[in-house]
Structure 1
Amino acid sequence: MSKWAPVRYADGRPVKFWNQLAIALVFYFGYEYTSQLASGSTSSARRNALWEVSVEKRLHFFVEQKIQHFFLQYLWLIKLSNFFYVTVHFILPVVILVLLYRRDASRFLRYRNVFAWMTAISFVIFIVFPVMPPRLLPASFHFIDTQLKFGGAGKLDATLMKEAGNPYAAMPSLHFAWAAWCALGGYKVIKSKLLRYLLLADPFITIFVVIVTANHFFLDIVGGALVLFVSMVLAGIKKKNMRVDSGWFNPIQ
């Protein structure tokens, strides 16, 4: 496909940019709506977080606090992690979607559907199963809110995060799910080997970041991986020779 050729469905119809933008806005405002629904659910979010802690303790991998406290001695790394947490998570998926849209119509439509399913499923979970992140647990757990204490994200610090977004959306970890989605979806459309390696490293960097900043439990990351897997199944991403206009979820076309 030519660099400037229009993106088209299998039947020849163009994939309209404004329709894709409308889809993105629906999911953005959907997230804002779940934030409002989750407000006032502090007790439920704390109870669910404590349940996750108990599960991890039984499985002998409740180590988030130890990991965070080890890396607190490297303040530059903590500040960099704070910055990464509130920037890359939102910017990279947009970049990948644009690259997919311009370079591979079939791949764009498939991974757009995966992204839509993944985000929609997460919205539902956020509402029915709110989970408080480690940084908001009682002081007896000894987690530190690194953005509140150390900063590093400029204006996108803890104050902004408390005012915008759902503070009890720890399970599943969309930070990890979106990072893994970016790696899977964007790998084949990025030509630079260095950028490919960085993209593949992003999910692992994200795991490190969400743990040292006390924004997620390891169980949340597992949840994010499961949501991504289910979304790929629902979107038919594994079907061979799948037409670009197939799949369960084909929003505004």
Structure 2
Amino acid sequence: MVARPGGASVAAAVPDHGQCREGARWRARRRSRSRPVNQDGARAGRSSARSSSSSVSTWPTPRHDWPRAAPGTWPSRTRGGILDVERWLHIDIEHALNTFTSQHTWFEVATSYWYQSMHYLVTPTVLVVLFFRRPLLYRPARTALLGATFLALFGYFFFPTAPPRLLGQYVDTVSESSVYGWWPSAAEQAASGANSVTNQVAAMPSMHVGWAVWVSVVLAFLVRRTWAKIAVWGYAATTTVVVVLTGNHWVLDAVAGAALVLGCWWFAGHRYGLWAPRAQVQAELDVLAREVRPGVAASGPAAAADELALASAGEVPPPAPPGEPDGETPRA
């Protein structure tokens, strides 16, 4: 212990070495948490250029603590990412399409209008029309739509994936063309706090594509001509191209959304007998016809269908003439 001129001890002014070490560890942990680490162990501040050109960003933090950073600052996984898989499959076309779209204003505005409007107008309209005009098709269609949307939430929660527009080399064309539409730009959303209540890493699967596939399946059921059944799939194809052009989804996001909806359609169709064989449908029709009016089934499928239509409309078929049994034609 060394005495100072004023009589105070130097030991009181010297901090404990154990406390210094603990403080250094605490500051190091705090600095490591404040800067995200990519898969190679490099800090985001030293490798932002490399991480911005790598694959899709899958945020490795807890779901309640998703960061809300500016575009181009999202850390990414360079191995096992969606973009790596697309490169292996030679389908990594997002950057070329997004660059072409951003260089043509009229095309940028057109794709933005499609992205912002068709998804929210066409799907509810088709669902309402089915409810009032095609109740038998409405049930499996409703089940497929709600089931696919519910399952997509699990993908957003367990596999959070950033869209291309949040990476540095891609352009958010929807935000850039906001001056021509009613939707806010990315800067306006950030200023209003909208990013704090929306999930910015919900790209896998793409329900823009999923809902478009659902609409195309419904329209394929409603139309009868072969060329029309093929043409209605143009809506799903156009939506798929639009979500890639605008930088809102990867190609594999679109594939996952379409596969999810088609799988739910398959399940709903079996659940409600939509894929039943024609012979089974005809047998059930004959049984219902016998319950409506005995002897109608012997007259053939057309007569049975007419009787069922009259019964569903609340009309009572005319009684058979005296001396003629039901279901028989008068003899010459």
Give the structure 2 partner of residue 40 of structure 1: 65
CA contact (8 A) 1:83 1:153 kept: no
Give SS of 1:65's match: helix
- Size of the alignment, in residue pairs? 203
Percent identical among aligned pairs is 24
Q: Which of structure 1's runs of 4+ aligned residues deviate more than 6 A?
A: 190-198
The answer to whether the 8 A contact 1:56-1:62 is kept is yes
Name the counterpart of 1:240.
276
Letter in 1 for 2:96: K
Q: Distance in 2 between the 1:49 and 1:157 partners?
A: 32
State how far apart, in whole Å, the 2-side matches of 1:39 and 1:215 are: 23
Gaps spanning 5+ residues in structure 2: where? Answer: 1-61, 69-73, 282-332
1:240 to partner: Cα distance: 1.0
Alignment of 1:1-253 (within 5 A): 40-42=65-67, 47=76, 51-137=81-167, 139=168, 142-151=169-178, 154-159=181-186, 163=194, 165-189=198-222, 199-237=232-270, 239-240=275-276
Larger CA deviation: 181-190 vs 60-69: 181-190
Deviation at 1:221, TM superposition (A): 0.8
CA spacing shift, 1:198–1:117, aligned 2, 3 Å: same
2:102–2:171 CA contact under 8 A, matched in 1: no
In structure 2, C-alpha distance between the alignment counterparts of 1:93 and 1:146, rounded to whole Å? 23
**1:125-161 deviations in Å (ceiling 9; x for gaps):** 1111111000002x1xx10011222326623233477
The 1:135/1:173 distance shift into structure 2, 3 A limit, reads same
Question: Which secondary structure state, in structure 1, belongs to the residue aligned with residue 241 of structure 2?
Answer: helix
Q: Give the CA RMSD over aligned residues.
A: 3.2
Q: Give the direction of change, closer, same or farther, for the CA distance of 1:172–1:152 in structure 2 (3 Å limit).
A: farther
Unpaired segments ≥5 residues, structure 1: 1-36, 244-253
CA distance in 1, matches of 2:127, 2:166: 33
Look up the SS of the partner of 1:236 in the other structure: helix
Tell me which protein shows more helix as a share of its residues: 1
Q: Secondary structure at the match of 1:62?
A: coil
Q: What secondary structure is seen at the aligned counterpart in 2 of 1:239?
A: coil
> RCO greater where, 1 or 2, for CA within 8 Å and sep 6 or more?
1
Secondary structure of the corresponding residue to residue 178 of structure 2? coil
CA distance in 2, matches of 1:67, 1:195: 29
> Which structure would you say has the larger Rg?
2
